[in-house]
Amino acid sequence: MRISLIGAGRVAHHLAHALSQYHQIMQIYSRSFEPAQTLAAQVGATAAAKISEINPEIDLVIIAVSDQAIASIIAETHQHLADVLIVHTSGSTDIEVLAKTHARAGVFYPLQTFSLDREIPWSDTPLFVEAKSEVDLVLLSQLANQLSSRVYQYTSAQRLSLHLA
């Protein structure tokens, strides 16, 4: 699978490294270009200076940014990446934030506290997936199962309840 990430913080860092063991990380975009360059170099990807530079010939875009930035990111990406599955990694953000604008929307939420100086025990990390289509839900479940033995299909309401607990 060809994957690009939007964000170069803690969540994006750990996901990029974990997923690069199984898939091709194509591009990393971040508001600040330097962190995108650093992460891209670590996982064999290229850094994108603008969202519009993300190659639409990919299979998945993972938005790993603050909850408040997700809506503006999808507004900026959805036309350029109309046929691409786009997911966010938030526990508290409803899938509809993406789905009201983008048809192929999903969630890939790792229930984990992320720190740059601590390795993530992916095989034991609960991963929660959700998608607007059954085909995309299967794809996200397969991706999650490559990382973890604890994969769950939760709705946005269930995930929010879990996140708040």
Q: What is the pLDDT of residues 45-74, one digit of tens each?
A: 999 999 999 999 999 999 999 999 999 999
- If you average pLDDT over every residue of the chain, what do you get? 94
Rounded CA separation 39/43 (Å): 7
pLDDT at 128: 95
- In whole angstroms, how large is the CA radius of gyration of the chain? 14
Report DSSP letters for 143-159, one per residue: HHHHH-S-EEE--HHHH
Query: Hey, how many other C-beta atoms are within 10 angstroms of the C-beta on 144?
Result: 23
Domain 2-164 coded CATH 3.40.50.720? yes
Alpha helices in 27-150 (DSSP H): 33-43, 70-77, 96-99, 134-147
pTM over cut 0.75: yes
Joined together, the tokens standing for residue 129 give 């997936």
Structure confidence by residue, pLDDT tens digits, 135-147: 999 999 999 999 9
Rounded CA separation 28/45 (Å): 7
Joined together, the tokens standing for residue 160 give 């929010």
